[in-house]
Amino acid sequence: MSDEKGVIYRISGPVVTATGIRSRMYEVVRVGHEGLMGEVIELHGDKSVIQVYEDTSGIRPGEPVVRTGQTLSVQLGPGLLTQIYDGIQRPLPVLEKTMGTFIERGVDADGLDLEKEWDFEATVAVGDEVAPGTVIGTVQETETIVHKVMLPPNHSGKVASIESGSFNVTQTVCTLEDGTEIQMMQKWPVRTPRPYQQKYAPDTPLVTGMRILDFLFPLAKGGAAGIPGPFGSGKTVTQQSLAKYSDAQIVVYIGCGERGNEMTEVLDEFPHLIDPNTGKPLMNRTVMIANTSNMPVAAREASVYTGITIAEYFRDMGYDVALMADSTSRWAEAMREISSRLEEMPGEEGYPAYLSSRLAEFYERAGRVETLEGEDGSVTVIGAVSPPGGDISEPVSQGTLRIVKVFWGLDAGLARQRHFPAINWLSSYSLYPQSLDQWFRDNIASDFPEIRTEISSLLQVEAELQEIVQLVGSDALPVDQQLTLEVARMIREFFLQQNGFHEVDAYTGLEQQYKMAKAILTFQDSAKKSLAAGGQLEDVVNVPARTNLMRDRLEKGYLDRIDGLVDEMNKQIAAAAEEK
Amino acid sequence: MSGKEYRTITDVKGPLVFLEKTEPVAYGEIVQLRLTDGSMKNGQVLDTSDDMVVVQVFEGTAGVDLGTGVKFMGDVFKLPVSKDLIGRILDGAGRPRDGGPAIVAEGEADIIGAAINPYSRQSPHDFIQTGISAIDCCTTLVRGQKLPIFSASGLPHNDIALQIARQAKLKDSDEEFIVVFCAMGITAEEYNFFRSDLERTGALENAVLFVNLADDPAVERLITPRLALTAAEYLAFEHDYHVLVVYTDVTNYCDALRQIGAAREEVPGRRGYPGYMYTDLAMLYERAGLVKGKKGSITQFPILTMPGDDITHPIPDLSGYITEGQIVISRELHGSGIYPPINVLPSLSRLMGGCIGEKTTRDDHKSVSDQMYAAYAQGRELRGLVAIVGEDALNERDKQLLDFSGLFEDKFLRQSRDEDRSIDETLDLCWDLMQNISTKYLVRLDQKYIDKYHPTEKK
Ligand SMILES: Nc1ncnc2c1ncn2[C@@H]1O[C@H](COP(=O)(O)OP(=O)(O)OP(=O)(O)O)[C@@H](O)[C@H]1O
Ligand SMILES: [Mg+2]
């Protein structure tokens, strides 16, 4: 028997062992009479252990296994945007066309539409030196995004011929003097990070429009954040808000082992939602990967790699890319399931011993870089974590927290109080403020960091006061502390709470966030003065203008009116003291 | 198919049989065992290689010995499907249990069920009126949703499930649901309760029952819900029915899963349940929904009992991570004599937002629901405080909220087992109860709805 072709020796769920084949690690093979796609994940003497990306029911020992010589790769080129893929980059609309409503097995589909023609505009000329990553031309891929066609990382030389015009992704658009033909499509193995020149320290925030995130726990472009939380606490709503409103230029959204309906929702909604940053439909900048909980686990394992490779590819064009993975726990569980079929020595809670290094490798692919072409590009990664019972002492949460610099901790108690987003302001943190503060000073307000500190210390003080209140009731506190409680309540209800589904409230720009925070501190100052002048707390707190200030944030045009509302509040509070 | 019978069993462990040297056997293939006393058992291949085959035996391995004959049937588990399933009662392995004839198949369907392409799904948005105020107002059920009941032993989850099955309808429509009922390890008494209720109301003629009882083989439970869902998919997507799948008790199902895992000496996950339980449950729960281009739908109403009333136990926990909300039954409310004892505070319907409002239920629904929830939550919290400081220490607002929480339970939650309230009745009842709180404290209500609906302050 030749080395290229072997036979199945054993089948155990998604794991198949083959003999008589001399394969390489991570090589893609075709399994069984139906040619199911699989990937070699372990070699044992003459046995190759393969994880299969489709259901293996009905397959028998003795059926053929064939090498392909390729490692698991994605197709990169125009046509990625607006597409929705499964975990191994098969476009779901194509699968629907070939198989109908249910995903049957044994069907191949190209990641890119190989027939579709694009208007390629050359940006280099004959005789130009080109190197890996050099942009040789552009394609207007969607209304808002220009796709830059780059020389694949392993080629360089002088351009012998290049032509603008209408081409599909497999036609040659450029030849080099050594005869190499370049097409718009390139392939890249998903488990290998794409190259760049160097990594920079992040210094620009990813503006999300979510007040608690931007203001208290900012994430940098090129950074990584973890969102752990029990079921129903708001991981998906938060991730979807980020996909909608964050100021990334490209969004890669991975539904990894979660619900089918949530992906349908994105598909229904995004084409109609307007990107606040471009004024065009959000779909234009989005690539989706949907390997839901009931789709094969091996493909779920691959889905995060497929996603991050696509993200890196757009980063290499000099874009700021944001990637959401919902949920990384399901990815880790896929690893655990495969690992247990391999009868590997389990680590903590049955997860493989390499869990934490896999997590680290994944999040390491985030970053702000100087691309091969010398541009500035970034991949920001936001991973949801679903800890069993909501208890983050488990391995996936812990492994994630060791790596990411931003922790947005969702809290079941807050969700139950319908305080949304249910992000716990006491336990969450961001390690980025120091590197971002200069940006906030330069671009929003010179005292931005100081205002943030004041707001967060008020919340800390509130937590301490609440402990006392639990014992003696709030009436027993001195009036200045009662005021502090009122101010903190204003922070929570007016600033931190934000309805992710409300047309206006769902997104707040940084300038408005700053003004809202200032308004709270202004209230505190005016109230203090009024109390000192003999005003009553009850009156000060209940001035109608403060209610208006708070409620009107749900109305359009709030940013233009907020100063006026604050002035009115100050007047009424001052008047509260005079009435005495 | 392959007629050969092997007598090569080497090991028997729990529900598993290990045998060596066979012709190539397919993963997932159906197996028949003939015991030395002539009796038959059924099983399925869990692991297959040139040297060794592992078979899980649905009826358990009692009586199996090394002389037992094993025959491989050449195919994976399939359910014969037909419209004739409607009105039938089948056992946990899909055989008639009602003394009726065998099902004349229009086709055969693989019971594992392929995943619905997420791109082919359609978002659920049709409001189902259950006639139960707590559900309709606070955790609205949507056609195509999977909404489990999180209950515990000794609580009336069966009554609630039956009431829903009886009363569920689309508002202003007489499109009916047909019920696919799946029993997994429940007692004969519970089953008879379901059956006689369906019989009494005439629903049985329009239902399909798959029944695995407590004294039926435990491992068989692993296929029973798959049969039920396969039937449901066939009826919904081939014959345009709106199917309501009620299955109980998911906890028994998970225990059978744990038993297999233990026998295979798998590394256990939390509390001994297999690490793949999330995926396994998802392969049941995700078989709900609507798909483009088909009229029918599958709505799932799984029932599970939380061991030790603990919502963080892996069974409710993993379920909650997959389903689209949950309805939580409270022992405390049950103890105080309230039916249905639904605790709305930890309950949630994730699809509610997209299905309520002017066009479907009523314009004030969201506002009313938010306010009812908030007022009840605050009132409940005050009960704890009152126990310490006494009622006199409360201010006016808190007194009103405290009283309201009692009314909420007594008037809003409480209803009889055959009381079918329309959504208008439910929302009007909310307004009626909210009169007991001054409007200045009803901050979640939009003024425009107060003007429109408040019994004494409307304009
Ligand atoms: N920012 C928000 N604004 C308004 N409602 C919210 C917000 N976040 C969460 N919710 C509410 O909480 C529900 C659950 O949120 P979500 O689906 O995001 O939870 P999750 O953490 O992803 O749960 P799971 O782990 O089960 O997927 C939503 O359906 C919605 O009702
Ligand atoms: Mg989620």
pLDDT digits (tens, 9 = 90+) for A63-93: 999 999 999 999 999 999 999 999 999 999 9
Q: At A209, list the tokens.
A: 């429009």
Q: What angle do CA A258, A264, A266 make, to 5 degrees?
A: 90
Distances (CA, A) of B94 to A75, A391, B80, B208: 45, 40, 9, 11
Using CB atoms, pick whichever of A59, A260, A267 lies closest to residue B116.
Answer: A260
CB pairs under 8 A between A and B: 185
> Quick one: which of B259, B258, B230 has its CA closest to B245?
B230
Whether B27 lines ligand 1, by a CB cut-off of 6 Å, is: no
Measure A523 CA to nearest chain B CA, in Å. Answer: 21
Helices (H), B91-218: 133, 157-167, 188-200
The span from the CA of A347 to the CA of A115, in Å, is 47
Residues of B in contact with A346 (CB under 8 A): 267
Using CB atoms, pick whichever of A60, A260, A330 lies closest to residue B26.
Answer: A60
> Rounded to the nearest 5°, which phi and psi values hold at A323?
-120, 130
Q: What is the pTM of this model?
A: 0.94
Mean pLDDT of chain B: 92
Instruction: Answer for the pair B114, A296: CB distance below 8 angstroms, yes or no.
Output: no
Residue whose structure tokens are 């529900």: B15
The span from the CA of A36 to the CA of A475, in Å, is 70
Segments of chain A with pLDDT less than 70 = 1-2, 579-580
For A283-305, give one letter per residue: b (16+ CB within 10 A) or e.
Answer: bbbbbbbbbbbbbbbbbbbbbbb
Measure A17 CA to nearest chain B CA, in Å. Answer: 9
The verdict on B322 touching A (C-beta cutoff 8 Å) is yes
Q: At B377, list the tokens.
A: 């939550």
Whether A234 lines ligand 1, by a CB cut-off of 6 Å, is: yes
Instruction: Answer for the pair A535, A248: CB distance below 8 angstroms, yes or no.
Output: no
The verdict on A55 touching B (C-beta cutoff 8 Å) is yes
Using CB atoms, pick whichever of A265, A268, A418 lies closest to residue B373.
Answer: A418
Calculate Rg over the CA atoms of chain A.
27
CB contacts under 8 A, A 481-510 vs B, are 501
- Enter the DSSP assignment of B323: S
Instruction: Answer for the pair B16, B56: CB distance below 8 angstroms, yes or no.
Output: yes
> Quick one: which of A18, A62, A70 has its CA closest to A44?
A18
Cβ–Cβ gap B278/A96 under 8 Å: no
pLDDT of residue B250 exceeding 80, the answer is yes
Using CB atoms, pick whichever of B123, B312, B321 lies closest to residue A268.
Answer: B123
Measure B452 CA to nearest chain A CA, in Å. Answer: 21
Distances (CA, A) of B405 to B52, B376, B380, B398, B410: 63, 5, 6, 11, 9
Residue of chain A whose alpha carbon sits nearest to that of B237 = A101
Residue A404 burial (CB count, 10 A): 23
- Using CA positions, which residue lies closest to atom 25 of ligand 1? A231
Using CB atoms, pick whichever of A58, A95, A293 lies closest to residue B76.
Answer: A58
Residue of chain B whose alpha carbon sits nearest to that of A230 = B321
Q: At B178, list the tokens.
A: 């047909």
Ligand found nearest the CA of B350: 1
Using CB atoms, pick whichever of A105, A264, A386 lies closest to residue B123.
Answer: A264
Using CB atoms, pick whichever of A9, A261, A389 lies closest to residue B312.
Answer: A389
Instruction: Answer for the pair B226, B58: CB distance below 8 angstroms, yes or no.
Output: no
By three-state DSSP, how is residue B207 classified? Answer: strand
The residues pairing with B178 across neighbouring beta strands, listed in sequence order, are B243
The span from the CA of B388 to the CA of B382, in Å, is 10
> Quick one: which of A113, A122, A46, A50 has its CA closest to A85?
A113
Instruction: Answer for the pair A33, A106: CB distance below 8 angstroms, yes or no.
Output: no
Whether A386 lines ligand 1, by a CB cut-off of 6 Å, is: yes
Q: At B128, list the tokens.
A: 């189902």
Whether A229 lines ligand 1, by a CB cut-off of 6 Å, is: yes
Measured from the CA of A415, which atom of ligand 1 is nearest?
12
* Mean pLDDT of all residues in B267-273: 86
Distances (CA, A) of B146 to B124, B297, B397: 10, 11, 38
Q: What pLDDT shows up at residue A353?
A: 92
Residues of B in contact with A416 (CB under 8 A): 345-346, 377
Cβ–Cβ gap A257/B282 under 8 Å: yes
The residues pairing with A369 across neighbouring beta strands, listed in sequence order, are A199, A377
The span from the CA of B135 to the CA of B36, in Å, is 54
The verdict on A42 touching B (C-beta cutoff 8 Å) is no
CB contacts under 8 A, A 125-184 vs B, are none
Residue of chain B whose alpha carbon sits nearest to that of A415 = B346
The verdict on B377 touching A (C-beta cutoff 8 Å) is yes
Whether B278 lines ligand 1, by a CB cut-off of 6 Å, is: no
Cβ–Cβ gap B393/A255 under 8 Å: no
Residue whose structure tokens are 């009036």: A479
pLDDT > 70 in chain B, percent: 99
> Rounded to the nearest 5°, which phi and psi values hold at A204?
-125, 135
Cβ–Cβ gap B320/A232 under 8 Å: yes
Cis amide prior to B340 (ω within 30 degrees) = yes
Helices (H), B301-443: 314-322, 331-335, 365-389, 396-407, 423-434
Q: What is the ipTM of this complex?
A: 0.92
Instruction: Answer for the pair B147, B325: CB distance below 8 angstroms, yes or no.
Output: yes
**Residue A369 burial class via C-beta count within 10 angstroms: exposed 0-12, middle 13-18, buried 19 and up:** buried
Residue of chain A whose alpha carbon sits nearest to that of B323 = A259
Q: What pLDDT shows up at residue A84?
A: 95
Q: Quick one: CA dihedral B96, B98, B103, B108, positive or negative? A: negative
Residue of chain B whose alpha carbon sits nearest to that of A391 = B312
The verdict on A547 touching B (C-beta cutoff 8 Å) is no
| pLDDT per residue as tens digits for the range B398-420 | 899 999 999 999 999 999 999 99
Q: What pLDDT shows up at residue A261?
A: 93
Whether A233 lines ligand 1, by a CB cut-off of 6 Å, is: yes
The verdict on B280 touching A (C-beta cutoff 8 Å) is no
Cβ–Cβ gap A11/B47 under 8 Å: yes
By three-state DSSP, how is residue A393 classified? Answer: coil
Q: What pLDDT shows up at residue B4?
A: 85
Cβ–Cβ gap A416/B119 under 8 Å: no
Instruction: Answer for the pair A383, A172: CB distance below 8 angstroms, yes or no.
Output: no
- Lowest-confidence region among B232-246, B257-271, B293-307: B257-271
Q: What angle do CA A314, A317, A318 make, to 5 degrees?
A: 100
Helices (H), A327-421: 328-341, 355-364, 395-401, 412-416
The span from the CA of B245 to the CA of B228, in Å, is 8
Chain B contact probe: residue of A50, A261, A292, A466 with most B CBs at under 10 A: A261
Chain B contact probe: residue of A95, A103, A294 with most B CBs at under 10 A: A294
Residues of A in contact with B29 (CB under 8 A): 58
Cβ–Cβ gap B276/A337 under 8 Å: yes
Q: What pLDDT shows up at residue A580?
A: 57
Residue of chain A whose alpha carbon sits nearest to that of B287 = A294
CB contacts under 8 A, A 389-408 vs B, are 389-391
Please give the distance, rounded to the nearest whole angstrom, from the Cα atom of residue B350 to the centre of ligand 1.
7
Whether A501 lines ligand 1, by a CB cut-off of 6 Å, is: yes
Instruction: Answer for the pair A482, A537: CB distance below 8 angstroms, yes or no.
Output: yes
Tell me which amino acid residue B451 is: D
Q: Given its phi and psi angles, is residue A179 left (phi above 0), alpha (psi -120 to 50 degrees) or beta?
A: left
The span from the CA of A12 to the CA of B129, in Å, is 45
